[in-house]
Amino acid sequence: GENVEQHPSTLSVQEGDSAVIKCTYSDSASNYFPWYKQELGKGPQLIIDIRSNVGEKKDQRIAVTLNKTAKHFSLHITETQPEDSAVYFCAAKGDSSYKLIFGSGTRLLVRP
């Protein structure tokens, strides 16, 4: 069935360093890949997304890359700041589907 695997489950970086979170999806029909940031006690916040006709997308300090052949997509955060500390979720969605399939989440800690 549809599945999204996410790694690592936890990630600790020094402020100013980069962080990379990786996801793999199983459904080859998936064509939309959003990333969400969830802070404690809040709902997931859409931070960036990419569609299958694009290989890379960047928005200030965050970027997402997509490798359709390998069914991999990754989130890159540069110049990390303490306020980047949160749980990050990747997700995938296919054209014929109404639902997002989420990964299990990555808890990112940025140490001051």
Partner 1 sequence: DAGVTQSPTHLIKTRGQHVTLRCSPISGHKSVSWYQQVLGQGPQFIFQYYEKEERGRGNFPDRFSARQFPNYSSELNVNALLLGDSALYLCASSLNANILSYEQYFGPGTRLTVT
Part in contact with partner 1 (CB under 8 A); list of ranges 11-19, 54-62, 78-86, 100-108: 100-108
45 lines the binding site for partner 1 (CB under 8 A):
yes
Part in contact with partner 1 (CB under 8 A); list of ranges 35-43, 55-63, 65-73, 76-84: 35-43
52 lines the binding site for partner 1 (CB under 8 A):
no
Nearer to partner 1, 73 or 89 (CB): 89
Determine the Cα–Cα distance for residues 59 and 27; give it in Å rounded to an integer: 27
Nearer to partner 1, 78 or 102 (CB): 102
Which residues are within 8 A (CB) of 74 and not within 5 positions of it... i.e. 6 or more apart? Answer: 20, 21, 22, 23, 64, 65
93 lines the binding site for partner 1 (CB under 8 A):
yes
CA neighbours closer than 13 Å in the CB half-sphere of residue 2: 17
Nearer to partner 1, 43 or 112 (CB): 43
Which is it for strands 56-59 and 62-67: parallel, antiparallel or unpaired?
antiparallel
Size of site (CB under 8 A) for partner 1: 27
Determine the Cα–Cα distance for residues 94 and 40; give it in Å rounded to an integer: 29
